[in-house]
Amino acid sequence: MGKITISSLNRMKAAGEKIAVITSYDASFTRQIERAGMDVILVGDSLGMVVQGHESTLPVTVDEMVYHTANVMRGSDRTMVIADMPFMSHATAEQALHTAGRLMKEGGAHMVKIEGGAPQLDTVRHLTARAVPVCGHLGLMPQSIHQLGAYKVQGRGEHAAERILKDAVGLQHAGAQMLVLECVPAVLAAEITKALDIPVIGIGAGVDVDGQVLVLYDMLGITSDGTPSFVRDFLADTGTINGALEAYVKAVKNQEFPAQEHTFS
């Protein structure tokens, strides 16, 4: 299989082939992830919680994201790699361009991910007009945890659902080439996926999106604070890390994951 690009992912969406995504933060795990047949790696600011031990993703710095992205790139030959823009690293369009430039030039990322809807549209336009590929992120946005008050499902109720759908369409129009939907009702995620031409990747968003992403440590069952309800422990199912990664890819491709018990209504 050749190197995965955004064109590859667009073809997969058009063909109805599910996209398998997982987080990684170092070269060793990345090599195992590639051998398992993963399509995309997200270098998530989730590293702040699962690697560094913080209570949220907010303390993660741009330097740390560049460092971990570079680690992942050294272990990657064919997988598309997306890097998170950490909290307060894109408060202005120019700051966002500087951050994205570092993640791509120093870290080697193929795309950057930004949390937020309407307030981020100008930033997304600024980046994409300057050849920076952008993945949006809507629904539960961990960088907004102090506004949300808790890690909980977003988009329940007509008004909340309409806002997320409007933001999703707005991000696509602004130039975003992918979208992550986190912790939203499955019906809403399906509606957004049908409304957009770009690939939509879900995490706790049901099976009717274009692909799935999980935090590596969650799907291996080694997250210190427990596993979220939308996660399946693939290591418990298989007994080995390689087996867990391969089982995850297979389950995503065959639409066996997420099952009903991992889905919100």
Residues that are catalytic: 182
Angstrom distance (rounded) from CA 11 to CA 8: 5
Cα torsion 212, 240, 80, 98 to 10°: value is 90
Nearest C-alpha neighbor of 183 from the set 209, 157, 206, 166: 206
For tokens 């297979």, the residue is 250
Contact in structure between 43 and 65 (CB atoms under 8 Å): yes
Strand pairing of 211-214 and 19-23? Answer: parallel
Please tell me whether residue 180 adopts helix, strand or coil conformation.
strand
Q: How far, in Å, are 44, 114, 147, 203 from residue 121 at the CA level?
A: 21, 10, 20, 22
